[in-house]
Structure formats: C-alpha cells, structure tokens
Chains A and B, each alone.
Chain A
Amino acid sequence: MNQHLLYSLAAVLVLGLIGYAGGSGMPYLFGVIIPYAAMVLFFAGFAMRMLGWVKSPVPFRIPTTCGQQQSFSWIQHSKYDNPSNKRDVLVRMLLEIFLFRSLFRNTKNEIREGKVVYNLEIWLWLFGLIFHYSFLVVLVRHLRFFLEPIPALLKVVEMLDGILQIGLPGILLSGFLLLGAALFLFARRILIPQVRYISLTADYFPVLLIASIAGTGILMRYVAKVDIFTVKQMTMSLATFSPVVPEGIGGLFYAHFFLVCVLFAYFPFSKLMHSGGIFLSPTRNMANNSRAVRHINPWNPKLKFVTYADYEDEFREKMIEAGLPVEKKE
C-alpha cells in the first residue's frame, strides 16, 4: 500500500472518529460552530478561487479542437467539437457540464496481435455520471432537514428515489448509487497500475471522504438508527439561526455531520474546485474562430508602426550615399 493511499485512509478514519467522539464531548462545537465555519469557509474559499482564476490572462484562443473546424461550405463542420461561434460554444459547454461529453471519448489502447488497438472505455464516464447525479439527488434530498414545512417537490424527489419500495425504511437508490460509484472510482485508482501511479493523496482523500459520508448516512438510515426527530430539531435550529443542540443524537450522526463539514471546508482548496473551474476552462469556453476574426492581445502596448515607405523617406539620402537600393529616387 503506498503512502498516498495510507494517508487518505488514515485521515478519513481519524476524522470520522473525531466527529464520533466530538459529538458526545463537545456537541456545541461539532454541532454549531464547525458547521457554520465550514459553510463560510466553503463560500469564501470558492469565491477566492474563482476570482483568482478570472484574473488570469487568456491571451490566446486555445480551444481543444476535436473535429473538423469551420471551413468551406462543402466540408462538413463538426459544430460542437470545434465550435466557431458563441452559440455552439454554449452547447458544447452544456454538454460538457451536464453529460461529461469529453470523458465519453475516453479510449483505452492496447497491443493485440502486434497491432495497437483502441477501445472505447466508457466505465469512467458512466460511473462519473452516476456519481455526480446521485450526489446531486442526495444533496437535494437532504434539504428536508433544513426546511419546514417540506416543499412538495422535495417529497416527489424522495418518492421517485424510493420508487422500488424495497424494505422498510425504504431503500433510497441515490445513496447506494453514490456509495457504489464512489467505491468504483476508488477501486479504479488502486486496480489500474497507470492510474495508481498518478494518484496522490489529493485524489484518494476526496473520494474516500465522500464514500465514508455516504456510508455513514446509509448506516444511520438502515442499520444503527439515530433519532431523526431530534436530528431535524437540530438542523432546523441551524437553518433558522437559533442553534440548539438537543441531547441524545447518536455519535454516528456527528461522525457523518463532521465529515460533511470537512468536505465543505476542504472543497475550495482541492481538486473538487473543478465544479467551478469547468466554467473557466479556456480550452472549452472559447470559439475556434482564429481564422475568421483577428484577435489582438488586449494588453499589447500602443505602438506607432513604421512602414517601409516611411523608413525609406527618413533614411533615403543616407541609403543612396551608402549605395543601398531604394524604391523611390527623390
């Protein structure tokens, strides 16, 4: 086991235990102060990163071109792989953000019978998509802890999530899909040698953190139940800025809650910022129109350009004296 994996596993385990113990030892710190601080840190950090990035100069048109650029009318233009106007760029961005289109292009190469062959490798795309969307559903579902009365739309989401009506309390699919997809993304990192080679602590830690959040959540709902009535009293007190920490909420809840706080606080300083960064990717959000539009570097100094005719006007006599050819004699 390499050090990166070991550090991440240890960090998640220790953080979970801190939350578990902290809930019974210092419930006000772990139930009120840390959550609020984590939210502030999340938003402030997120804004700081985004404003930092937007300051970066983007002097060149550097869209990734994945298809035929716009050319003659009789050459087919791949509009969304090589967009040439804002509308197509928008479509490309939406496809990227909501469907992870560039990941769908993922291929795997190998040597078969002495030849290099490329195969479509859609598993990363598929599980990535499942991971993100189930996380979204889980996040939306959790709004029920922070809203009273609960909006009808939220109940519809929960009904659809539990539509299979397996067991009681009914299985909510998104939670298990999230855990499964997170574990797939983790397994991929340790099982594929090339991916393992480039995986660092910053790669293992978030995926393990999210998997453990999903795991503790599932444990709380289906196995070691916590008193959800008291939990809602507490979360509602947070959402109405009148924090109270009722007694008798299990340590498992605090472990879950603290891990979520860690995720929020860690978010702006991690690779998870791809959520904001994707909007600012110059390789995606620019139109490839360099051959149609002249792009001038915005901070080019304003210089007076000297044409050859002006140059010759200035130095004509000296040039003739030196025997250099001139275009206009006198």
Chain B
Amino acid sequence: MSDKLKVLAGLLVLAVLITLPFWLNAGKSGAAPEIVIAEAAKKAGNCVESKEWMAANHMALLDQWRDVVVREGKHIYVSESGQEFNMSLSSGENSCLGCHTSTAEFCDSCHDYTGVGTLYCWECHIDPSKENK
C-alpha cells in the first residue's frame, strides 16, 4: 500500500512538471509584442535585403559584416539586387541603427519574446538610442 502511495506521489510530481507551463502562464496573456518599425526605416522603404530574409538571417549577416569590416577593412556591402550599403551597425545615419532608431522597440522586443540568446552587440558597440538619454 505504501508503495502505491509513493508511486502516486511520483506521478503527481510528473504531472506538475508536465503542466508547469500552464501553471506559470496562468493569468498571463502571453501575447506577442507589436513589432515597431521606426519612422526612418519606413521612409527608407527597404532594408539591405528583403524583409523575410532579414528576419531569418540578420544575425548571420551581422556576423559576416563584422568579420569583413574588422578583418578585411571593407565597408561596402552589395545586396542581392545590386544596391550598395555601408556595413555598419551603429555609426550614424548610414547604418543599421540609423534607420532602426530604437533598439528597445526593434531588437529587444522580439529577442525577449522568443528568448533567442543574449544580445552581446553592446559589449563593443554603443547603442545610440540609449546613449542620448
């Protein structure tokens, strides 16, 4: 009999573990954040590549840019469509953050929601949107 009680207790623990997300989410909406496209980005019309491609591959592109700029000293990126762009994350208007002016709204909201790793951009770069405040 006591063995049965032990097994039931174990099953209870398992049940709680399986349903943990349901308990922890209870009372919260868990709604996705709105993606805010900054005015400057809207005015520019398009990013260096298509929106879908950027959503999936921006991290790989930034990684590649970093290596090309730092190791090879090249600063011009030629996109699929043949347009030329300045390869820079945070230096002035002609950079990623030149258009996407608020990192909190543009980068962090998605990254926090999906929990895709910790952004370590700002260990080297200055975040202009935070620097001004």
Overall SS of chain B's interface? helix
Contact with A along B9-45 (1 / 0, CB 8 A): 0110011001011101100111110000000000000
Which chain B positions have C-beta within 8 A of A47?
Answer: 11
Do B112 and A46 have beta carbons less than 8 Å apart?
no
Contact status of A144 and B115, CB under 8 A, knowing A50-B11, A239-B22:
yes
Which of A54-95 touch B at CB < 8 Å?
54-55
B55–A240 contact, CB under 8 A?
no
B64 closest partner in A (C-beta): A168
Contact call B115/A155, Cβ cutoff below 8 A: yes
From A99-107, A184-192, A229-237, give the one contacting chain B: A229-237
Q: Are A229 and B3 within 8 A (Cβ)?
A: no
Is B46 an interface residue, CB under 8 A from the partner? no
Q: Please pick, from A147, A149, A155, the residue contacting B21 in the complex, using a CB distance under 8 A.
A: A147
Question: Assuming A43-B15, A229-B110, is B55 touching A168 (CB within 8 A)?
Answer: no
Counting chain B CB atoms within 10 Å of each CB, the highest count among A147, A159, A165 belongs to: A147
Q: Least Cβ distance of B15 to chain A in Å? A: 6
Bound CA–CA A291/B56 (angstroms): 67
The verdict on B122 contacting chain A, using a C-beta distance below 8 Å, is no
Q: Is A169's CB under 8 angstroms from B116's CB?
A: yes
Chain B residues contacting A225 (CB-CB under 8 Å) are 56-57
Convert B95-129 into 0s and 1s, putting 1 for each residue whose CB lies closer than 8 angstroms to a CB of A.
00000000000000010111111101000000000
Please report the total number of A residues contacting B with Cβ < 8 Å: 44
Interface SS majority for chain A? helix
Q: Which residues of A contact B (CB under 8 A)?
A: 39, 42-43, 46-47, 50-51, 53-55, 143-151, 154-155, 158-159, 162, 165, 167-170, 225, 227-229, 231-233, 236-237, 239-241, 276, 279-280
Asked if B18 and A39 sit within 8 Å, CB to CB, the answer is yes
In the complex, what residues of A have CB within 8 A of residue B63's CB? 167-168
A229 to chain B: which residues have CB within 8 Å?
32, 55, 110, 113-114
Q: List 6 A-B contacts (CB under 8 A).
A: A55-B4, A144-B115, A147-B24, A148-B31, A158-B115, A279-B10
